[in-house]
Structure 1
Amino acid sequence: MILKKGQLSDAILILLILLFLFTPLGFYAKVQLMRLFSFAPSIEKQETSQKLTDYNWQLVDVEGNQSNFSINRGEVIIINHWATWCPPCIAEMPSLVALHEDYGEKVRFIFLANDDSEKVRSYLNKKDYAIPVFFENTQTPTALKASSLPTTYILDKKGNIVLKEIGAADWNAKAVKDLLDTLLVEH
């Protein structure tokens, strides 16, 4: 059976769509596209509608060490819900890692993985990321739950949620750094 020119182009288009949707090649293509179209989160002065009141949240790091989120009370905190199988999560990760490298001593970072610990450990090693990754050991406080990935929260020192961003963003943007600098000097 010989394909006509139109049929051949249709077959190639279908093959490309299948590659994009169902193969690792497609996963990385989605990541690259999302990186191209990631912008800084919208940082506007807004009324804080939610405040974290329950800091009693048990976490486990990638090495299996347990900790309680309450040790972060009184700090500026960034919580990022993510997974290795999530293209938008992987797309925004380099900007979060860069932000962590700039602010890691001043701001508390919680990279909350919604994934298998071995996959997370393998991903971190492959990318050579030195970030504080945790898994839930008890249920996430209601104010910090994520219904989709990625979801990132920034909390001020009083526990006010000053920013909630759903979807990939450029976290190493000047607007984010300006917000963090402002939050760090507040009492």
Structure 2
Amino acid sequence: MSRSKWTNIIFLIVILLLIIPQTRLPIQVALHKLITKVNSIRVLEEDNSVRITDTNWQLKSEKGLLKNLNQSEGKVIVINFWATWCAPCIAEMPSLQSLYDAYNNKVDFLFITTDDFKKVSYFKNKNEYSFPVYQPYSQPPNVLMTKSIPRTVVINAEGEIVIDESGAVDWFSEKVQSELNKLLK
């Protein structure tokens, strides 16, 4: 067989695999994991940063406890908006778990989803994730409203958004760790 026929056969197989629901998500996750290696965070310049003035945002934890964003005032905060069915979200989760493991004593992490907590619990157990997950209990501040996931926001101790990324990113990269270390000084 010629090379072009093999290329066509491989292309058709990939298309068929993407059509089948059981194989689509793993393929999408694998592709997004490759993308995380290319995507890099952009730190917002001081004159482009946005201050969150309304921090009265209620969240409900997996245990049913309420937490308010204003309880994190004066701290560095990482907020990740995600879902268990979202391929780019799943692709970046291992790096977010590593970041959480390294910084959870110094940084407030808020993993926000609208998924049912039973699905979230199953997803976390299956993947051995330990980060805390919350559901919105009230309307978020306007600057934190999101229409796409994943979206991750890093807020400095002064309440300014210094990183605002949508799409899959390697959150345990040297660049992210360096920026967090600067914010924690």
- Indicate conservation of the 8 Å contact 2:44/2:162, yes or no: no
Structure 2 unaligned segments of length 5 or more: list them. 1-6
Give the equivalent residue in structure 1 for 2:52: 52
2:81 corresponds to = 81
Q: Which stretch shifts more, 94-103 or 14-23?
A: 14-23
Equivalent residue, structure 2, for 1:27: 25
Residue 10 (structure 1) shift: 7.1
- 1:143-162 map, 5 Å: 143-162=143-162
Amino acid at match of 2:42: S
Displacement of 1:50: 1.3
Return the offset for 1:22.
Answer: 3.9
Alignment of 1:126-141 (within 5 A): 126-141=126-141
Structure 2 distance, partners of 1:170, 1:10, is: 33
Contact 1:111-1:131 within 8 A present in 2 as well: yes
* Alignment: residue pair count: 180
> Which runs of 4 or more aligned residues in structure 1 lie more than 2 Å from their structure 2 counterparts after TM superposition?
9-16, 42-49
**Counterpart of 1:37?**
35
Alpha-carbon distance in 1 for matches of 2:54, 2:122: 32
Amino acid of the residue matched to residue 15 of structure 2?
Answer: I
Aligned twin of 1:163: 163
Q: Which residue number in structure 2 is paired with residue 125 of structure 1? A: 125
Return the TM-score normalized by structure 2. 0.89
What is the letter of the counterpart of residue 87 of structure 1?
A
Q: CA RMSD in A?
A: 2.1
CA contact (8 A) 1:83 1:115 kept: yes
**Whole-angstrom distance in 2 between the partners of 1:161 and 1:43:** 9
Q: How far apart in 2 are the matches of 1:67 and 1:42?
A: 29
1:95 matches 2:59: no
| Cα distance in 1, alignment partners of residues 43 and 93 from structure 2 | 19
Higher alpha-carbon Rg: 1
Residue 47 of structure 2 aligns to a residue whose secondary structure is coil
Q: 1:182 to 1:12 in 2, by over 3 A?
A: closer
The offset of 1:60, in angstroms, is 0.7
Deviations 1:65-92 (A, max 9, x none): 1121211010000000000110000000
1:18 and 1:140, CA in 2 relative to 1: closer, same or farther beyond 3 A? farther
Q: In structure 2, do the counterparts of structure 1 residues 10 and 182 end up closer, same or farther at CA, with 3 Å as the change threshold?
A: closer
